Amino acid sequence: MTINRGETLIKVEDVHKIFGELHALNGVSNEIKKGEVVVVVGPSGSGKSTFLRSLNLLEVPSRGHIYFEGVDITDKNVDINKHRQKMGMVFQHFNLFPHKTILQNITLAPIKLLGKSKEEAEACGMKLLERVGLEAKANAYPSQLSGGQKQRIAIVRALAMEPDVMLFDEPTSALDPEMVGEVLELMKQLAKEGMTMVVVTHEMGFAKEVASRVIFVDEGQIKEEGTPEEFFEHPKDPRLQEFLSKIL
């Protein structure tokens, strides 16, 4: 993989999201560069998921623009599906297809959307499964897997689409504590390989170790951001100080 680190991959420009009376995002701007691992933290209900989901337009901003690889994907004339394919998304609750095998879960989108042959998609899928040590589960169904295994499969499924960025929304929050490590380990590997990642998480250890940048979202706004060191050692915003004092 060749990465031109430092090049902007996603640009968020004054994004607002309004649900009825609620201003869930209130003027968010940011730039995510290639190869960056951006960790997003903040209180429950502050707008973290809405922010993340806006990046691939699962939530359509009420106002503002999102540029992905230089294209304004908030432009109504843009074929969003084409761009969304390049953004892998991993959710808290895995969202695997329950009636499909693990290998089918992984190969479905590459066959349908990338036009890969079944053989090619399966060969790639098996390689990815080997990488996470789950090749023996290729023909199993999601219900036969542990939570940690399911989440690793969900990550592999996203990787099978050869994305340019991976978006994670609290990927370990639904897991039993003993399974958190295996998922974080895989995410660390991806980061090491240069994958651009935006990760909403409460795992501060992960943020400290892996993040290039940490963002604090509060009341629909980015209130502070910085390197893990600046962010955790010298927080400036009083709400961030309070937030950190509760969770660290």
List the single partner that 46 binds among ligand ADP, Mg ion, none, CB under 5 to 8 Å by kind. Answer: ligand ADP
Question: What minimum distance in Å lies between the beta carbon of 202 and Mg ion?
Answer: 10
Binding mask 8-37 vs ligand ADP (x if CB under 6 A, - otherwise)?
-----------x--x-x-------------
Using CB under 5 A as the binding rule, whether residue 172 contacts Mg ion is answered as no
Beta strands across the sheet bearing 22-33: 22-33, 8-19, 63-68, 71-72
If one counts every other C-beta atom within 10 angstroms of the C-beta of residue 31, the result is: 13
| Identified binder of Mg ion from the candidate list 49, 56, 149, 196, rule CB under 5 A | 49
* The binder of ligand ADP chosen from 49, 56, 104, 172 (CB under 6 A): 49
The region of 49-57, 72-80, 99-107, 181-189 touching Mg ion under the rule CB under 5 A is 49-57
Looking at the Cβ atoms of 26 and 101, the one nearer to ligand ADP is 26
The entry of Mg ion, ligand ADP, none that residue 42 binds, CB within 5 to 8 Å by partner kind: ligand ADP
45 interacts with ligand ADP by CB under 6 A: yes
Footprint of ligand ADP on 50-79 (CB under 6 A)? 50
19 binds, among Mg ion, ligand ADP, none (CB under 5 to 8 A by kind): ligand ADP
The site partner of 50 among Mg ion, ligand ADP, none (C-beta below 5 to 8 Å per kind) is: ligand ADP
Among 38-46, 108-116, 202-210, 229-237, the segment contacting ligand ADP (CB under 6 A): 38-46
Interacting residues with ligand ADP between 196 and 235 (CB under 6 A): none
Among 35, 47, 24, 8, residue whose Cα is nearest residue 215: 47
Interface with ligand ADP (CB under 6 A): 19, 22, 24, 42, 44-50
